[in-house]
Structure 1
Amino acid sequence: MLILKEKDILELCDWKEIIDVVYDVFERQSNNQTITPHRILINLEAQGADKITGGTYFKPSFVEGVGLGCKVVSVYPDNAKKNLPVVPASIYLADTHTGMPKALLAGTYITGFRTAAGSAVSARIMAKKDAKIMVVFGSGLQAESHILALMTEFPNLEEVIIGCRRMESGNNLLERLKTTYHVSTEKIRLVEGKGDELAAKADIIVTATSSSTPLFNGKVVKPGTHIICVGTASPKDREVDNDAVVNSRVIVDELSSCIVSGDLAAPLEQGVIKESHILGPLGDVLTGKIKARTSPSDITLYKSAGTAIMDIATAHWFTTKATQLNKGLLINDFN
């Protein structure tokens, strides 16, 4: 069994290859080559177990020709006070022919990377090819990953604007981009607040926050904009308002998870939209079953709540890459 730590994931990351891997797995999903049971949530706060505040999801999946495994991801808000990831994760892969353990990967960076890769795939198909201005709301791992993925997919972006609540957190993100990833920040700038003003000028909008209220007025979004909502899957939280949803052609990564996420659950419950307003999954766009954009003026919206097929496919890629480069810790005898 191969064990990969977070530092191994960082060293092995190749954005172009990861984006292509996620593109491929969404195509496989559309072609019925995946099996993904409903995720299981153990919410310790709800159960009142030992006064622990947090919850853990178990997300299994099988991708034909790729791999079999399960992602375990938790949400522990108090971890920030302990200098630990708020969303710790790990991914287990099993040999599809024998069921024996194949790999155990640290999953925090992979979660950020695969989500951003999925968003880059959505933008490849749904955003304007000549997109010039990207606005990213947030300053955490998801914001970081989306800047890296979308700058890879759209190298001709003229400006990347980070909309953050506090300049300190934005500056920390800039520092990580420079020191960890060696990215030139020449065309990246920080803006505190001003959600409506930023959204109005963007060709691509990324919401990567844990906000409980919409970040901007959906009425200000200009025609042709592509909106990417990835920050929260909670039924109570919202990054975009009803106007943004109503005015957009909506695509999701996985319908069952996204319709219980606040961004879509709220307008559905309020009767503002019907479920038919959601055109379908991203994979069906890639295989031509759905047309996400019908005209240059369409506003498109991609909502991602996370799907285990991305985790398994991305973990499989990292495992293969690490084996080729002799990275990680290999345990030869697991019996």
Structure 2
Amino acid sequence: MEVSIFGRKDMQEILEMKEVIEGVKAVYKLKAEEETAVWPLVSYDFEEPAGVMDIKSGYIRGNINLHGAKMLNTFWGNDNVNTPIFNGLLMVFDSNTGVPLGMMDASYVTCMRTGAAGAIGVEVLARTDSRKLFILGAGKQASFQIAATLILMPGIEKVYIADALSYENAVNFADRMPEVLRKDFKILNREYVDFEAIEDMAAGVGDSDVIITITPSRSPVIKKEWLKPGTHLSCVGADMKGKVEIDPEIFTNAKIYADDKKQCMEVGEMELAVKKGIITEKKVVGEVGAVIAGLIPGRETKDEITVFDATGVALLDLVTAKIAIDLAKEKGLGRKAEI
């Protein structure tokens, strides 16, 4: 039996953001139509050396018919020993037969599908005339959020970059971004987009139409009073217990959407707001896939504050893995192994 094997470099050559976006949208819609299963999240915090591990798994029915699991590890000290901080493996199986289809590096898959997810939240819930984007976080994942958002929201003209720990890091990131878009994502003809590192986060947030948060923060950074009417927030960084990036009071007068409602209430951005009694389950309008499927409304007025809580589900990894397998056949990349 042959199984496709893809390393990190393979995935970088194979995957294309536009295809990943379409795959993620399709899975969100199938989830809303009850054609998927998200299995319980397993996570563990390592104390010495400091790190975190999570296992996400699930099943997609419909015309995709896949199941599988991803184990992802983040060990921050790896940066000091010339080893990637972010590592993992993804296994995907054919749900008609249980036969394994592929095993691959999970880190790049995660970056691509997470970028797609945050941007889809923007496309579905932000004002269509949005022009200014604020990115909280200048780490590796931030470039994927920007790339996907520019694909789906070509009207964006200004991108503020903020790093709560290092303004210098934000400056370096903003300077590199045009070249990253060209080289890593093949996004051309975006000379009109201005990338600016910003130290005064209140000013940057208040001037922006869209906020994407992508940090490992465990205390709120974005404050309620900074937001202007009509702002959309895609909160992507909070995906485990204790992580939080925005003031929980923001939820009091916002329309709230999730990628997976149960998971978001337990380990997502809304976890703290739920624990404090600021919101209950009834306050959550629904899942973003239901908006895509036309089952529930999204934004209804230009002044609404909307929040998309995206904890990430294995379903997105699985569809991205299948896209990689199909594109690899077209491009003649990757390798096969007998098992």
> Structure 2 length normalisation: TM-score?
0.90
Partner of 1:169: 169
Superposition deviation, residue 177 in structure 1: 5.1
**Corresponding letter in the other structure for 2:254:** S
Match for 1:239 among 245, 267, 273? 245
SS of the counterpart of 2:246? coil
1:293 and 2:299 aligned:
yes
Superposition deviation, residue 81 in structure 1: 2.1
Partner of 2:28: 26
Query: Larger strand proportion, structure 1 or 2?
Result: 2
Partner of 2:17: 15
Q: How far apart, CA to CA, are the structure 2 residues paired with 1:318 and 1:308?
A: 15
Contact 1:249 1:301 in 2 (8 A): yes
**Corresponding letter in the other structure for 1:168:** E
Q: How far apart, CA to CA, are the structure 2 residues paired with 1:303 and 1:200?
A: 20
SS of the counterpart of 2:317? helix
Superposition deviation, residue 248 in structure 1: 1.3
Q: How far apart, CA to CA, are the structure 1 residues paired with 2:23 and 2:118?
A: 13
Q: How far apart, CA to CA, are the structure 2 residues paired with 1:247 and 1:83?
A: 45
**Corresponding letter in the other structure for 1:223:** P
Name stretches of at least 5 consecutive residues in structure 1 with no aligned partner.
Answer: 46-50
Contact 2:92 2:102 in 1 (8 A): yes
Partner of 1:48: none
1:275 and 2:281 aligned:
yes
Partner of 1:154: 153
SS of the counterpart of 1:58? strand
Partner of 1:81: 80
Q: Does the C-alpha gap of structure 1 residues 83 and 188 become closer, same or farther in structure 2, counting only changes over 3 Å?
A: farther
Q: How far apart, CA to CA, are the structure 2 residues paired with 1:126 and 1:207?
A: 15
- The number of equivalent residue pairs is 328
Partner of 1:60: 57
Superposition deviation, residue 205 in structure 1: 0.5
**Corresponding letter in the other structure for 2:291:** V
Q: How far apart, CA to CA, are the structure 1 residues paired with 2:263 and 2:79?
A: 26
Q: How far apart, CA to CA, are the structure 1 residues paired with 2:42 and 2:243?
A: 20
Q: How far apart, CA to CA, are the structure 2 residues paired with 1:231 and 1:242?
A: 15
Q: Does the C-alpha gap of structure 1 residues 326 and 61 become closer, same or farther in structure 2, counting only changes over 3 Å?
A: same
Q: How far apart, CA to CA, are the structure 1 residues paired with 2:53 and 2:249?
A: 32
Contact 1:219 1:243 in 2 (8 A): no
Contact 2:11 2:109 in 1 (8 A): yes
**Corresponding letter in the other structure for 1:100:** V
Partner of 1:326: 332
> Structure 1 length normalisation: TM-score?
0.91
1:183-332 maps to which residues of 2 (within 5 A)? Answer: 187-261=193-267, 263-331=269-337
SS of the counterpart of 1:215? strand
1:119 and 2:118 aligned:
yes
SS of the counterpart of 2:206? helix
Name stretches of at least 5 consecutive residues in structure 2 with no aligned partner.
Answer: none
Match for 1:36 among 14, 35, 38? 38
Identity of aligned residues (%): 24
**Over aligned residues, Cα RMSD in angstroms?**
2.0
